[in-house]
């Protein structure tokens, strides 16, 4: 058996000393031919491994370089140096993998996030990305824990689909037909997808919601947590072409139940990370504070990261209607002074991210849930309100990010639903399976979608969504 090692995190937090053990990890630094800072990814804190002078051959010493992988056996003893409780007095060091110090791109110094994105395969070995991806893991775990405790069924919805849940474009096509012009054609010259692998035109999913609704009509409460794809050409700090989405769908829920669940859910997962990843979050808070110092005073955020998370967990989200939000925006000095790129003129316009951020960051200074949007700017499946103009939608907006959740009560009335689909030119035949839920035992139900990377951004304070997913996919980039 090879793996007899102990994790560095465990050794550092324990009060146990004076015992023999084995550690393995990657060298961060090696000082004075004596002190190895060893990291195994369990924590940002390194274990100091002390090599007794003269105990190792010169040739081995030379191979202890930044980035090299080593196995160290020795005694854990109280540390004399400051900054750590314990250290290891090594009795043997074995090089598991060499790393040419001249060529290893990560030097023990500060690298820019842009540079690290270019070497995303190595950036896990930095403190920043170590912390980010451990927090990402914790949030994913907390999500499953939250729903599991409530009795929700985790549903795996398909990644290849023939439907577009939103009725919008922006999808990646999936095909095995040749692209060299020899694909089978119909009489009118269009591609004949009957000859394609699935016998029809297919694409990567943009949402698992429609399938989720079908399962909710049997299990009552389900959630999905999987990858979704959007071929939108948005080069923003909040959009990816491949991102992960959590989509709970609940029978017997109205809009208010939906909002209550979403708010409790967000608070729970943030709290989980604060309770279980405090060290990483404090590191990220420090990083953010330094980044903020580079900004002009008036652009700096008023709260530090920990303070912000604490605040979100302990305060109610502000709830208001789209109509109320439009009034606030229209009457704002910001609007009157023409400071919005898209001025708010009339009821009915879609809110841009600048408007969402104004409401959250300037006006309310807390997360906001907007409800009852005009039906024209929302999807066909949202439940129509009695006023005939709005739908029972809800978006949750977060400081620094904008929209993190989009949800609604669903239209369960078959006639209203098909009528809306016709108005929006959505082919009812193709979604006949979806309409069956309204034919056989329909019930009031609701759900929402949370963009996983957006919440990871929020919790870690990372400004760019490309830095919270291991290998980001965005326009003109699919490396690694
Ligand atoms: P936005 O207006 O920010 O583009 P959207 O209205 O397109 O969002 P929905 O279709 O409601 O978003 O998707 C549900 C959630 O998925 C959003 O609230 C957001 O958190 C997340 N999301 C949407 N598009 C992306 C994307 N391209 N990259 C990362 N997350 C996304
Ligand atoms: Mn979008």
Q: What is the DSSP string of 35-84?
A: EEEEE-SS-SSPEEEEEPTTSS-HHHHHT--TT-EEEEEEEEEE-SSTT-
Q: Into how many domains does the chain fold?
A: 2
Nearest ligand for residue 474 CA? 1
Judgement on whether residues 90 and 53 belong to the same structural domain of the protein: yes
pLDDT band at residue 140 under the 50/70/90 scheme: very high
Q: Atom 22 in ligand 1: which residue has the minimum CA distance?
A: 451
pLDDT band at residue 279 under the 50/70/90 scheme: very high
250 alpha-carbon distance from chain centroid? 22
Nearest ligand for residue 238 CA? 1
Distance 180 CA to ligand 1 centre (A): 34
Judgement on whether residues 86 and 225 belong to the same structural domain of the protein: no
Distance 467 CA to ligand 1 centre (A): 17
In this predicted model, what pLDDT tens digit does every residue of 324-336 receive, in sequence order?
999 999 999 999 9
291 alpha-carbon distance from chain centroid? 21
pLDDT above 70: residue 34:
yes
Residues in the ligand 1 pocket, defined by CB under 6 Å: 230, 232, 238-240, 243, 245, 403-406, 449-451, 453-454
Q: Atom 18 in ligand 1: which residue has the minimum CA distance?
A: 405
Percent of the chain with pLDDT over 70: 99
Judgement on whether residues 309 and 406 belong to the same structural domain of the protein: yes
Q: Atom 24 in ligand 1: which residue has the minimum CA distance?
A: 239
Closest C-alpha among 241, 242, 223, 222 to residue 232 = 241
Index of the ligand 1 atom closest to the CA of residue 465: 29
Distance 407 CA to ligand 2 centre (A): 13
Report how far apart, in Å, the C-alpha atoms of 339 and of each of 95, 222, 324, 336, 476 are. 60, 43, 20, 8, 32
Judgement on whether residues 313 and 358 belong to the same structural domain of the protein: yes
Strand partners, 402: 398
In this predicted model, what pLDDT tens digit does every residue of 427-480 receive, in sequence order?
888 899 999 999 999 999 999 999 999 999 999 999 999 999 999 999 999 999
Q: Residue 305 is part of which domain span?
A: 125-154+213-467
pLDDT above 80: residue 193:
yes
* Contact in structure between 474 and 241 (CB atoms under 8 Å): yes
Enumerate residues 6+ apart whose C-beta is below 8 A from 389. 374, 375
pLDDT above 80: residue 165:
no
Ligand 1 binding pocket mutation candidate from 265, 406, 466 (most atoms within 8 A of CB): 406
Distance 230 CA to ligand 2 centre (A): 8
pLDDT above 90: residue 311:
yes
Q: What is the DSSP string of 202-267?
A: EEE-S-SHHHHHHHHHHHSEEEEEEEEE------SSS--SEEEEEEEEEET--HHHHHHHHHHHHH
Evaluate whether residue 252 is within a structural domain: yes
| Mean pLDDT (the chain, rounded) | 95
Judgement on whether residues 242 and 343 belong to the same structural domain of the protein: yes
Q: Atom 7 in ligand 1: which residue has the minimum CA distance?
A: 406
In this predicted model, what pLDDT tens digit does every residue of 214-246 receive, in sequence order?
999 999 999 999 999 999 888 899 999 999 999
Q: What is the 3-state secondary structure (H, E, C) of 392-461?
A: EEEEEEECCCEEEEEEEEECCCHHHHHHHHHHCCCCCCCCHHHHHHHHCCCCCEEEEEEEHHHHHHHHHC
Judgement on whether residues 241 and 338 belong to the same structural domain of the protein: yes
Nearest ligand for residue 473 CA? 1
Nearest ligand for residue 228 CA? 1
Q: What is the pLDDT of residue 81?
A: 78
Q: Atom 19 in ligand 1: which residue has the minimum CA distance?
A: 451
pLDDT band at residue 167 under the 50/70/90 scheme: low
DSSP class of residue 133?
Answer: H
Judgement on whether residues 232 and 341 belong to the same structural domain of the protein: yes
Nearest ligand for residue 401 CA? 1
Q: Please say whether the dihedral angle defined by the alpha carbons of residues 299, 305, 311 and 317, taken in this order, is positive or negative.
A: positive
Residue with tokens 């190595």: 122
Q: What is the pLDDT of residue 233?
A: 85
Distance 15 CA to ligand 2 centre (A): 50
Mean pLDDT score, 275-302: 93
Evaluate whether residue 437 is within a structural domain: yes
Mean pLDDT score, 402-407: 95
pLDDT band at residue 166 under the 50/70/90 scheme: low
Judgement on whether residues 150 and 91 belong to the same structural domain of the protein: no
DSSP class of residue 1?
Answer: -
| CATH at residue 326 | 3.30.930.10
Report how far apart, in Å, the C-alpha atoms of 22 and of each of 111, 255, 402 are. 31, 55, 47
Q: What is the pLDDT of residue 299?
A: 82
pLDDT band at residue 80 under the 50/70/90 scheme: confident
pLDDT above 80: residue 172:
yes
Evaluate whether residue 335 is within a structural domain: yes
Distance 459 CA to ligand 2 centre (A): 21
If DSSP codes are grouped into helix, strand and coil, which group holds residue 90? strand
pTM: 0.95
Enumerate residues 6+ apart whose C-beta is below 8 A from 163. 210, 430, 431, 434
Distance 7 CA to ligand 2 centre (A): 41
Q: What is the pLDDT of residue 163?
A: 72
Distance 239 CA to ligand 1 centre (A): 7
Evaluate whether residue 300 is within a structural domain: yes
In this predicted model, what pLDDT tens digit does every residue of 93-126 receive, in sequence order?
999 999 998 999 998 888 999 999 999 999 999 9
């Amino acid at each position: 058996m090879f793996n007899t090692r102990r994790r560095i995190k465990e050794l550092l937090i324990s009060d146990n000393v004076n015992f023999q053990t084995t550690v393995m990890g990657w060298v961060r630094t090696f000082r004075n031919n004596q002190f190895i800072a060893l990291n195994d990814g369990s924590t940002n804190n390194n274990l100091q491994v002390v090599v007794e002078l003269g105990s190792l051959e010169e040739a081995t010493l030379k191979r202890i370089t930044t980035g090299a992988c080593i196995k160290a056996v020795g005694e854990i003893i109280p540390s004399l140096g400051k900054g750590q409780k314990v250290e290891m007095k090594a009795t043997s060091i074995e090089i598991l993998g060499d790393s040419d110090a001249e060529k290893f791109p990560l030097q023990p110094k500060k690298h820019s996030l842009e540079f690290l994105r270019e070497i995303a395969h190595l950036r896990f070995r930095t403190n920043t990305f170590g912390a980010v991806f451990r927090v990402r893991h914790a949030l994913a775990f907390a999500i499953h824990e939250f729903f599991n405790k409530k009795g929700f069924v985790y549903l795996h919805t398909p990644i290849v689909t023939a439907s577009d849940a939103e009725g919008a474009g922006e999808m990646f096509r999936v095909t095995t037909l040749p692209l060299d012009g020899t694909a089978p054609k119909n009489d009118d010259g269009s591609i004949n997808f009957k000859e394609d692998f699935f016998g029809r035109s297919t694409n990567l999913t943009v949402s698992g919601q429609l399938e989720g609704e079908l399962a909710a009509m049997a299990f009552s409460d389900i959630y999905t947590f999987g990858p979704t794809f959007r071929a939108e050409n948005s080069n923003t700090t909040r959009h990816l072409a491949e991102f992960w989405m959590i989509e709970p769908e609940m029978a017997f829920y109205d809009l208010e139940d939906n909002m209550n669940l979403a708010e409790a859910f967000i608070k729970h997962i943030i709290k989980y990370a604060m309770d279980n990843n405090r060290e990483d979050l404090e590191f990220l808070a420090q990083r953010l504070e330094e980044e903020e110092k580079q900004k002009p005073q008036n652009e700096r955020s008023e709260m530090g990261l920990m303070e912000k998370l604490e605040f979100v967990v302990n305060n109610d989200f502000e709830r208001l209607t789209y109509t109320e939000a439009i009034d606030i925006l229209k009457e704002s000095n910001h609007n009157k002074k023409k400071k919005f790129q898209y001025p708010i003129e009339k009821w009915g316009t879609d809110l841009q991210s600048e408007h969402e951020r104004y409401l959250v960051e300037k006006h309310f200074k807390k997360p906001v849930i907007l409800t009852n949007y005009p039906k024209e700017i929302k999807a066909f499946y949202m439940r129509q309100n009695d006023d005939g103009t709005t739908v029972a939608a809800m978006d949750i907006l977060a400081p620094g990010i904008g929209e993190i959740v989009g949800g609604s009560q669903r239209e369960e009335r078959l006639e209203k639903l098909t009528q809306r689909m016709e108005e929006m030119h959505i082919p009812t035949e193709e979604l006949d399976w979806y309409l069956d839920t309204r034919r056989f035992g329909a019930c009031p139900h609701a759900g929402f979608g949370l963009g996983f990377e957006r919440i990871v951004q929020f919790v870690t304070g990372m400004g760019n969504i490309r830095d919270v997913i291991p290998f980001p996919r965005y326009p003109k980039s699919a490396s690694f």
